[in-house]
Structure 1
Amino acid sequence: MSTVIEQAVQARLISSAPQLENVPATLSYHRADPFAVHMTFPPPATLEGVEVVWIFARELLAAGLDEPAGVGDVQLRPYGYGRTVLELHATEGVAMVHIRTAELRRFLQQTQELVPAGSEHLHLDVDQDLAQLLSR
């Protein structure tokens, strides 16, 4: 079984313009980093024109599907029928994207099959991480 899960999602960027802009994004989950979800936006979808990766807790993503969750740079909440709003707070401003909740649930199910919730600590390599810290 692969140690990485990746899933393309279609996000809708919410802006002050009257139109919603579709933005491709990729969700990924790595068994070696079992507490985190990575969401990658390609260069055309960002203000800087470079790929941007947001990293946040898998637990936060799961919580935000059913009720508002998060108090920091990443916040999630259900929105209407079948959508979840993801707010990304940066120094440049706030990006709000809508993502189909079903896509997020499917992604989370795959991550749970790879690393069940509560067993994340079993997939950490503390010795290797400590060796890397001490080698610096």
Structure 2
Amino acid sequence: MSPVIEQAVQARLVASVPRMETVPATLHYDQGDPFAVRMAFPPPATLEGTDVTWEFSRELLARGMTEACGVGDVRVRPFGYGRTVVEFHAPEGTAMVHLRTSELRRFLDRTQGLVPVGREHLYLDLDHDLKVLLRDAC
């Protein structure tokens, strides 16, 4: 089994004007960083016209499908039947995307197959991380 999971999803971008635009996004999970999920947007979907990737906790995404959670740059909450809203807060403004909850659930189920919740610590390479932190200290 590959230590990385990527899944394409269609996100409906909520803009300040009363229209919604569908944009492609990619959910990414890496066994080597077992607590984190990344959501990447291609250049046409961003204000900067460059690839943008947001990183946040897998737990935040999972909890946000059933209850509003998050107080920082990324917030997640259920929205209506079968949708989940992910809000990205940055100095330039806020972006909100609607995602199918079923797609998120499928993605999270796949991550569970790779690294079960509560077992993430078993997949951390703390010796390597410590070496990286200390290599410039000597």
TM-score (norm 1): 0.98
User: What is the match of residue 67 of structure 2?
Assistant: 67
User: What is the match of residue 101 of structure 1?
Assistant: 101
Shift of 1:19: 1.6
User: Which string of whole-angstrom CA distances, capped at 9 and with x for unpartnered residues, describes residues 16-73 of structure 1?
Assistant: 2222111100000000000000000011111111100100000000000001011111
Q: Which runs of 5+ in 1 are unaligned?
A: none
Give identity over the alignment, percent: 68
User: What is the match of residue 124 of structure 1?
Assistant: 124
Q: Give 1:1-136 correspondences, 5 Å limit.
A: 1-136=1-136
Q: Distance in 2 between matches of 1:132 and 1:90?
A: 29
CA-atom RMSD, angstroms? 0.6
Where do 4+ consecutive residues of structure 1 move more than 4 Å? none
TM-score (norm 2): 0.97
Q: Which runs of 5+ in 2 are unaligned?
A: none
Q: SS of the counterpart of 1:24?
A: strand
Q: Distance in 1 between matches of 2:16 and 2:117?
A: 38
Q: Distance in 1 between matches of 2:16 and 2:123?
A: 43
Q: Which amino acid aligns with 1:62?
A: A
| Count of residue pairs the alignment pairs up | 136
Q: Distance in 1 between matches of 2:48 and 2:75?
A: 22
